[in-house]
């Protein structure tokens, strides 16, 4: 049987297909992602159809679909909606089973998820009221610095002295960045300063409750240099989840597999 | 009457017609819920309600309070505004004849119920009471516009171990020409080693010095009420008043026991929140508030007996701390699969019976001092732990009220205590008066909490 996990996030739609045949451990059949568009439900369906087609399947072959992410309740073709918190935890567990803390930074929010020794979510903290600790802040800064989001990390690596971004609000921080640029501050220092500001914000949200091993996931984890800066800010070693942007969708697919298995049994 | 269900306002209005045709008897303030929307209570259109006639009566009773207060004024009754004090002074006031006590702080829900169309918060802003203050600042707006409750003949307000921003709001109201009789409620102090100890109704202990002090303060409040009404608050009147208040408290005690423990849940969270509030203000009519609660209790007892309820059987049992500024969030909890199993809406002490074997003012002082809010956050956390345990809660939600000074750090402390002592998952949320823009975020948090509990149940 095939199951699907769809993470309909604010920034991208991610799809993971799993094959659950013969009662074996589910294996990834195909996956992909696309930038989000306003019609989240139709878009998610299109991405799923495409991924299925590329894997040589159709929607008829899919036994169970779990939707997660910001638009999870809009996907009426999904069998179940599960929060990103549970899905990221499950996705990370697949690759790094001993994980006790997860830091997830997505396009619109950031989360710190605490797991118990059995890998169950114990607690979580979430920031979705302020853009300064999220991926959209990085996007805003990349735009202001005239680089692609994927190039921002590379740019930051050239910094010898990261700029100090003191504003805790993304809107004020942008004004601050305009001032820094006008004052002749090097773009690489600004990019590095912004990474540092995000990392410190996440560290403050995490407080002292982090337990090792700590894993970094979500779209922002793909940004070069972010893991190192965040690891320093939280003062803990930080492992990177494989394909961090797909972790939520993978978790959703694994939960879909669990569900399909339990209903089959 | 049909099976218990949660229905919309439109459905209620249709049902009201059907019930009337079937012979439902209503009190003078009865009628379809939709009529309150005509009066500006726009939020009702977005709420979900219990479908029992008892719940309809509760809502109509709540939403007709302003009419009742204006009627009381027309009838020449004394109107007393009891501010901040949660449940103590109204007991004194209702021991007197021809007195109606109400709770002007209740205006904090008006911006929610009227979807800001009342503009009370804007008026409060213009008085220098901006959003850094608790939404109870709406009360100041209500005093200025005069569009809600009549200006009381007397205002009584406790001060001291209450939230700082509330005192500032009340002082601003006094500055607008509404004199206030202030009485002090000191922070509760545990007895020093060797000092005699008084055990309070909620289980805390206090020094007898403090009981004596609060007794004196309450006597001063009583004298002010006597001067206003020309009546004497003697022991007989007070005992009668205690008896009436205790009937309300006992009814609520049984209602809470059933609503928070029986499975499936026999009454929604929203109606229970409104019902619990009657313990502190009686909604300007003490005998009627008892009748409203008794009708609800009858309904709940019947549902419990028949094994029917308004939610799925496996709803996640949540202990809820602090009332929400937006009533809709109580619906949201149930929508995502939760139910209330225990609450601390900041007036637990007003749910405890007033001792009737003590000197009346000492009895009231002990009740007032047993308020978890006048002690340390640790005290409050301790009581929350005990209550969550007693009610068999599986998770705890601490709801912050934006701007409320008593909420700033307590969530963190109480949350840590609950995690440590009970090992329960804790969620801290902040709910503004209209939560629509943060609803997706609130929903994600609540759903994640439900998922955590479901995972725990499975293992």
Q: Which chain A residues are closer than 8 Å to B447 by Cβ?
A: 81-83
Domains and CATH numbers, chain A: 2-89+246-264 (3.30.420.40), 99-240 (3.30.420.40)
Contact A120 B444 (CB under 8 A): no
Among A165-174, A233-242, B136-145, whose mean pLDDT is lowest?
A165-174
- Average pLDDT for residues A224-245, to the nearest whole number? 94
Residue A10: per-residue pLDDT = 87
- Any chain A CB within 8 A of the CB of B447? yes
Q: Which residue has the higher pLDDT, A173 or A252?
A: A252
Work out the average pLDDT over B150-172.
Answer: 91
Q: How many CA atoms lie within 13 A of B419 on its CB side?
A: 17
CA–CA distance, B320 with B299 (Å, rounded to integer): 23
Q: Inform me whether the C-beta atom of residue A7 falls under 8 Å from chain B C-beta atoms.
A: no
Question: Are A121 and B448 an interchain contact pair (Cβ–Cβ within 8 Å)?
Answer: yes
pLDDT of residue B450: 98
Dist. CA B326–CA B342, nearest whole Å: 19
> Would you tell me which residues 33-72 of chain B have a C-beta closer than 8 angstroms to some C-beta of chain A?
none
**Contact by Cβ (8 Å): B429, B397:** yes
Q: What is the pLDDT of residues B80-136, one digit of tens each?
A: 999 988 889 999 999 999 999 999 999 999 999 999 998 999 999 999 999 999 999
Residue among A84, A86, A123 minimizing CB distance to B426? A123
ipTM of the complex: 0.91
Asked if B447 and A83 come within 8 Å (Cβ–Cβ), the reply is: yes
Q: Which of left, alpha, beta for B359 (phi over 0: left; psi -120 to 50: alpha)?
A: beta
Buried b (16+ CB within 10 A) or exposed e, B111-128: bbbbbbebbbbebbbebe
pLDDT surpasses 90 at A131: no
pLDDT surpasses 70 at A264: no
- Checking if the pLDDT of A265 tops 70, the result is no
Q: Has residue B30 got a pLDDT over 50?
A: yes
3-state secondary structure of B5: coil
How confident is the model over B328-353, as a mean pLDDT? 95
Closest CB to A120 among B419, B444, B455 = B455
Residue B232 reports pLDDT greater than 80: yes
Residue A111 has pLDDT above 70, yes or no: yes
- pLDDT surpasses 90 at B165: no
Put simply, whether A123 touches B (Cβ < 8 Å) is: yes
The share of chain B scoring above pLDDT 70, in percent, equals 100
Residue of A nearest to B442 (CA): A128
3-state secondary structure of B153: coil
Cβ–Cβ below 8 Å for B455 and A86 = yes
Q: Does A129 touch chain B (CB under 8 A)?
A: yes
Return all residues near B208 (Cβ < 8 A) that are at least 6 apart.
B191, B195, B196, B197, B198
| Among A142-151, A213-222, B311-320, B333-342, the least confident range | A142-151
* Rounded Cα–Cα distance for residues A169 and A130 (Å): 7
β-sheet bridge partners, residue A201: none
Q: Which of A146-155, B6-15, B225-234, B318-327 has the lowest mean pLDDT?
A: A146-155
Averaged pLDDT of chain A: 91
- Rounded to an integer, the average pLDDT of B202-231 is 96
Of A86, A120, A129, the CB nearest to B448: A86
Q: Do A118 and B459 touch (CB under 8 A)?
A: yes
Within a 10 A sphere around the Cβ of A171, how many other Cβ atoms? 12
Q: Do B455 and A83 touch (CB under 8 A)?
A: no
Please indicate if any CB of chain B lies within 8 Å of the CB of A130.
Answer: no
Judge: B444–A82 Cβ closer than 8 Å, yes or no.
Answer: no
Least confident of A172-181, B237-246, B266-275: A172-181
Cβ of A123 within 8 Å of Cβ of B419? The answer is yes
Nearest CA in chain A to B443: A83
What pLDDT does residue B1 have? 67
> For residue B108, what are the β-bridge partners?
none
Mutation to test the A interface, candidates B444, B445, B450, B459, most A Cβ within 10 Å = B444
Average pLDDT over residues A32-46: 93
Q: Which residue in B446, B451, B456 has the most chain A C-beta atoms within 10 A of its own C-beta, making it the best mutation to test that interface?
A: B451
Average pLDDT over residues B24-36: 96
| Interface touch B426/A82, C-beta < 8 Å | no
pLDDT (tens digit, 9 = 90+) per residue, A65-103?
999 999 999 999 999 999 999 999 999 999 999 999 999
Q: Which residues of B touch A124 (CB under 8 A)?
A: 448
Q: Mention every residue, 6+ apart, whose C-beta is less than 8 A from residue A39.
A: none
Identify the closest residue of chain B to A113 by CA–CA distance: B448
Strand order in the sheet with A27-35: A27-35, A12-19, A2-8, A62-68, A80-81
The reply to whether A128 touches chain B by the CB within 8 Å rule is yes
Has residue A182 got a pLDDT over 60? yes
Distance from CA of A85 to the nearest CA of B (A): 6
Distance (Å) from the alpha carbon of B328 to chain A's nearest alpha carbon: 19
Interface test with B, best of A110, A113, A121 (most B CBs within 10 A): A121
A247 vs A107: which has the higher pLDDT: A247
pLDDT, position B107: 92
**Where is average pLDDT lowest: A17-31, A95-109, A179-193, B97-111?**
A17-31
Q: How confident is the model at residue A172 (pLDDT cuts 50, 70, 90)?
A: confident
Give the model confidence (pLDDT) of B350-396 as tens digits. Answer: 999 999 999 999 999 999 999 988 999 999 999 999 999 999 999 99
pLDDT at B157 over 90: yes
Within an 8 Å CB–CB cutoff, is residue B426 touching chain A?
yes
Global pTM exceeds 0.90: yes
Interface probe with A: pick from B448, B453, B456, most Cβ of A within 10 Å: B448
A205 touches chain B (CB under 8 A): no
Least confident of A19-23, B93-97, B376-380, B433-437: A19-23
Question: Under 8 Å CB-to-CB from B27, ≥6 apart: which residues?
Answer: B57, B60, B61, B288, B291
Question: In this prediction, what percent of chain B has a pLDDT beyond 90?
Answer: 90
Cβ neighbors of A55 (< 8 A, separation 6 or more) are A17, A29, A30
A122 in B contact zone (CB under 8 Å): yes
Q: How far is CA B55 from CA A210, B270, B298, in A?
A: 46, 10, 11
Q: Sort out which chain B residues have CB atoms less than 8 A from A83's CB and list them.
A: 444, 447-448, 451
Q: Do A70 and B440 touch (CB under 8 A)?
A: yes
Report CB contact under 8 Å: B441, A85: no
E strand residue ranges, B86-223: 99-102, 154-160, 180-185, 198-199, 205-206
Listed in sequence order, the residues at least 6 apart from B394 whose beta carbon sits closer than 8 Å to its beta carbon are B316, B317, B318, B341, B424, B453, B456, B457
> Within an 8 Å CB–CB cutoff, is residue B439 touching chain A?
no
Q: Please answer whether residues A202 and A210 qualify as being in contact, where contact means their C-beta atoms are separated by less than 8 angstroms.
A: no
Contact A70 B459 (CB under 8 A): no
In the DSSP assignment, the letter for residue A130 is: -
Q: How confident is the model at residue A55 (pLDDT cuts 50, 70, 90)?
A: very high
CA distance B447 to B441: 10
Where does the pLDDT of residue A11 fall: very low under 50, low under 70, confident under 90, or very high at 90 and above? confident
- DSSP letter at B118 equals T
Burial of B101 (0-12, 13-18, 19+ CB in 10 A): buried
pLDDT at B2: 83
Give the closest residue to A84 by CA, choosing from A40, A139, A35, A126: A126
Residue B156 pLDDT greater than 60, yes or no: yes
Compute the average pLDDT of residues A91-116: 94
Q: Give dist(CA B402, CA B249) in Å, integer.
A: 29
- Asked if the C-beta of A255 comes within 8 angstroms of chain B's C-beta atoms, the answer is no
To the nearest 10°, the Cα dihedral for B346, B352, B354, B355? -140
3-state secondary structure (DSSP) of residue A215: strand
* B419 touches A: beta carbon within 8 Å: yes
User: What mean pLDDT comes out for the span A236-263?
Assistant: 94
pLDDT band at A127 (very low <50, low <70, confident <90, very high): confident
CB-nearest to B448 from A85, A118, A129 is A85
Return the pLDDT at B405. 73
The 3-state DSSP class for residue A4 equals: strand
- Per-residue pLDDT band at A168 (split at 50, 70, 90): low
Q: Do B441 and A128 touch (CB under 8 A)?
A: yes
Distance, C-alpha B157 to centroid of its chain: 17
Whether B15 has a pLDDT exceeding 90, the answer reads yes
**H helices then E strands: how many in chain A?**
8, 10
Please give the span between the terminal C-alpha atoms of chain B, in angstroms, as a whole number: 40
Binned at pLDDT 50, 70 and 90, residue A23 comes out as: low
Cβ-defined contact of A85 to B451 (cutoff 8 Å): yes
Contact A118 B445 (CB under 8 A): no
- What's the rounded Cα separation, in Å, for the pair B191 and B193? 6
Q: Are A209 and A100 in contact (CB under 8 A)?
A: no
Q: Is B438 part of the contact surface with chain A (CB cutoff 8 Å)?
A: yes
pLDDT at B61 over 90: yes
Q: Is B454 on the interface with A (CB under 8 A)?
A: no
Q: Smallest CA–CA separation between B441 and chain A, in Å?
A: 7
Show residues of chain B in contact with A207, CB under 8 Å.
Answer: none
Chains A & B: contacts with CB separation below 8 Å? 40
For CA atoms A37, A42, A44, A47, give the dihedral sign.
Answer: negative
Whether residue B245 contacts residue B222, with contact meaning beta carbons closer than 8 Å, is answered with no
Which residues from chain A sit within 8 angstroms of residue B438, using beta carbons?
129
């Amino acid at each position: 049987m095939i199951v699907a996990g769809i993470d309909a996030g604010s920034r991208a739609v991610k799809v993971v297909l799993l094959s659950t045949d013969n009662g074996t451990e589910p294996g990834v059949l195909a996956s992909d992602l696309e930038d989000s568009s306003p019609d989240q439900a139709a878009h998610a369906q299109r991405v799923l159809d495409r991924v299925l087609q590329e894997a040589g399947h159709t929607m008829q072959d899919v036994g169970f679909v779990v939707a997660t992410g910001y638009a999870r309740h809009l996907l009426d073709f999904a069998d179940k909606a599960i929060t990103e918190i549970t899905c990221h935890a499950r996705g990370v567990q697949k690759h790094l089973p001993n994980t006790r803390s997860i830091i997830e930074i997505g396009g619109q929010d950031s989360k710190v998820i605490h797991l118990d020794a059995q890998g169950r979510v114990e607690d979580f903290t979430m920031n979705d009221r302020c853009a300064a600790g999220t991926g959209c802040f990085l996007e805003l800064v990349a735009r202001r610095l005239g680089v692609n989001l994927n190039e921002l990390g590379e740019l930051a690596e050239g910094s010898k002295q990261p700029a100090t971004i003191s504003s805790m609000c993304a809107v004020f921080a942008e004004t601050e960045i305009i001032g820094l640029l006008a004052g002749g501050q090097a773009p690489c220092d600004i990019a590095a300063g912004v990474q540092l500001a995000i990392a410190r914000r996440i560290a403050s949200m995490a407080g002292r409750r982090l337990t090792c091993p700590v894993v970094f996931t979500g779209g922002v984890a793909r940004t070069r240099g972010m893991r190192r800066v965040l690891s320093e800010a939280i003062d803990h070693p930080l492992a990177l989840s494989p394909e961090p942007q797909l972790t939520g969708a993978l978790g959703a697919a694994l939960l879909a597999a669990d569900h399909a298995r339990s209903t089959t049994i | 009457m049909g099976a218990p269900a949660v229905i919309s306002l439109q459905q209620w209005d249709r049902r009201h017609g059907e019930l009337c045709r079937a012979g439902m008897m209503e009190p003078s303030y009865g009628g379809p819920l939709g009529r309150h929307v005509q009066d500006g209570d726009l939020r009702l259109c977005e709420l979900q309600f219990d479908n029992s006639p008892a719940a309809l009566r509760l809502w109509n009773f709540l939403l007709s309070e302003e009419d009742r207060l204006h009627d009381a004024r027309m009838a020449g009754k004394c109107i007393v505004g009891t501010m901040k004090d949660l449940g103590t002074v109204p007991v004194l006031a209702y021991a007197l004849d021809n007195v109606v006590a109400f709770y002007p702080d209740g205006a904090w829900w008006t911006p929610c119920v009227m979807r800001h169309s009342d503009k009370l918060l804007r008026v409060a802003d213009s008085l220098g009471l901006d959003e850094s203050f608790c939404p109870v600042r709406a009360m100041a707006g209500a005093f200025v516009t005069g569009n809600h409750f009549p200006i009381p003949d007397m205002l009584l307000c406790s001060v001291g171990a209450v939230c700082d921003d509330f005192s500032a709001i009340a002082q601003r109201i006094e500055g607008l020409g509404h004199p206030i009789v202030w009485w002090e409620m000191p922070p509760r102090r545990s007895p020093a080693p060797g000092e005699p100890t008084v055990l309070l109704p909620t289980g805390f202990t206090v020094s007898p010095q403090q009981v004596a002090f609060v007794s004196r303060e309450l006597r001063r409040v009583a004298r002010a009420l006597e001067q206003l009404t020309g009546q004497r608050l003697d022991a007989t009147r007070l005992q009668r008043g205690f008896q009436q208040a205790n009937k309300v408290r006992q009814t609520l005690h049984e209602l809470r026991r059933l609503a928070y423990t029986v499975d499936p849940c026999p009454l929604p969270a929203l109606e229970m929140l409104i019902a619990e509030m009657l313990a502190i203000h009686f909604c300007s009519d003490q005998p009627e508030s008892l009748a409203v609660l008794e009708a609800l209790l009858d309904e709940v007892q019947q549902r419990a007996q028949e094994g029917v309820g308004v939610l799925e059987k496996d709803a996640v049992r949540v202990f809820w701390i602090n009332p929400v500024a937006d009533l809709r969030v109580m619906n949201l909890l149930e929508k995502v699969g939760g139910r209330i199993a225990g609450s601390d809406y900041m007036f637990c002490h007003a749910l405890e019976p007033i001792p009737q074997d003590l000197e009346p003012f000492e009895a009231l002082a002990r009740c007032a001092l047993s308020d978890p809010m006048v002690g340390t956050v640790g005290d409050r956390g301790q009581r929350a732990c005990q209550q969550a345990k007693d009610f068999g809660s599986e998770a705890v939600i601490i709801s912050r009220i934006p701007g409320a000074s008593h909420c700033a750090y307590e969530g963190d402390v109480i949350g840590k205590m609950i995690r440590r002592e009970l090992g329960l998952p804790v969620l801290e949320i902040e709910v503004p008066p209209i939560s629509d823009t943060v609803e997706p975020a609130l929903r994600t948090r609540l759903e994640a909490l439900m998922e955590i509990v479901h995972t725990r149940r499975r293992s």
